[in-house]
Amino acid sequence: MKQFILILSVLLVAGCQTTEPLSAENDPRSDWWGLAFTEPDYMKVWVEDSSVLDIKNRTFFKAGGSTAAGGEPEDGTESARGWGTVSGSGIPVTGADLPKLIFVRWQSISEQKTYKGFIEIPESARQLMVDSTHQRCPETPERTARYMASLYVGLAPGGVLQAWVRDSCHRPIQVAHAQGELEPLGPEQGKHGGRYAYPVSEKAKRYIDKFGIPYGSW
């Protein structure tokens, strides 16, 4: 009888494991999610300010960093057209629940203009963020799930904002798009005499001279 009960217990446990083969319930994960900024190639930005409104209507100021992930490959292609690779190191938004609204004020170095804008994060994006840390990728079920959910906000010339989250297989999924507006007070809201954080780089100048700024491609 004891042997029968033991066999039955093993079968029950195996059955539970079979029904949830991708569960990451026991995988390590962060209590928070990360916010990162990204930019098109050559279109450098400097983030002056950013804040997060979470689903509990709490505001977290100075969220994210001041720089964005991008590059200047000088490979002869129009690589600034579109977003290219979505990357960046997310900074944890400590204490925040899932995001509902993101505010950003940033300098568009390539244009020498300053923008500000909001981008709303939909429920579908929040669900992807949860799934990314609670479910393993079906393509690599032997690997643990993502340690921390990530939200990426792209900032482009013309005041464009775009958002992505990564799914359980680390793929960036576009979830939102928004249009910002010019900051009438200019860089740092007029505190530094209209000076920008950086001049336009020589590589960016060469690119823009050859291809221009591809408005409408983001």
32: its two tokens: 């928070």
Q: Is 93 exposed, middle or buried (0-12, 13-18, 19+ CB in 10 A)?
A: buried
* DSSP run (H or E) holding 114: strand 113-120
Structural domain of residue 54, as residue ranges? 38-211
The alpha carbon of residue 37 and the mean position of all alpha carbons in its chain are separated, in whole angstroms, by 6
Confidence of residue 16 (pLDDT cuts 50, 70, 90): very low
| Token representation of residue 82 | 């579109």
Assigned domain for 114 exists? yes
pTM score of the predicted model = 0.88
Q: 55 lies in a domain?
A: yes
**Domain-located, residue 132:** yes
62 within domain boundaries:
yes
Is residue 108 in a domain?
yes
At which residue do the structure tokens 């690589």 appear? 79
CA distance 108 to 99: 24
Q: Is residue 194 domain-resident?
A: yes
In a domain, 185, yes or no: yes
pLDDT tens string 99-155: 999 999 999 999 999 999 999 999 999 999 999 999 999 999 989 988 999 999 999
Average pLDDT, the chain: 91
Q: In what order do the strands lie in the sheet with 172-179?
A: 91-92, 34-38, 150-156, 160-166, 172-179
What is the count of structural domains for the chain?
1
Q: What pLDDT shows up at residue 90?
A: 87
11: in domain: no
